[in-house]
Amino acid sequence: MLSKNDYEIINNSIRDIKDFPKEGIVFKDITTLLNDATAYTTLMNHLEEKYKDYNLDYIAGIDARGFIFGASLATKLGLGFVPVRKKGKLPSTTISEKYTLEYGFDEVEIHIDAFKNTTDARVLLIDDLIATGGTANAAVTLIEKSGAKCVESCFIIALDFLDGKSKLEQKCPVYNIIGVD
């Protein structure tokens, strides 16, 4: 359980940038969390404590900020890390999943042997933020296509005023630390 003090340390370390990337949007900047050793350590210790008894086999992180949290957590838990990358960024044979954007489509990939060709590998998916959920839903689909099971998705921030979290909860449990109304 995250204490109120630890929540405040993490939450207060995230900077709001108004009108980025366009007018009317308040961007949640996690770079200030990353360069605050106390806040980052507090976050990673909390995630380690939360997930240490989940009997996970892998942590999968979404390109690119999910790599930061996912690789750190995988190291703390003694697990392998699997990158979920944008199309064309992985060097070996991949499987991919398309998802819808506001104007068009995008695609994410994992290596076909990302989970070492095991079946039923238990995977935690992690990223910094969930908004509309398109990328996260595609990532969970990729994990399942590979024969693994996404036991939970974890986000530092959830934009609760969008429907991404509720959409993703139809596929797997979702945990977030900070909710933004």
The residues that are catalytic are: 65, 102
Tell me, what amino acid is at 105?
A: F
User: If you search the block for the tokens 């994410």, which residue do you land on?
Assistant: 108
If you count DSSP H runs as helices and E runs as strands, how many of each does the chain have, helices first? 6, 9
Q: What is the DSSP letter of 102?
A: T
Is the separation of the CB atoms in 127 and 164 below 8 Å? no
Give the position of tokens 């996970």: 56
Secondary structure (3-state) at 73: helix
Contact 105, 98 (CB under 8 A): yes
Sheet of 94-101, strands arranged across: 94-101, 104-111, 80-86, 58-62, 122-130, 149-159, 174-180
Distances 25 to 18, 90, 93 between C-alpha atoms, Å: 6, 31, 37
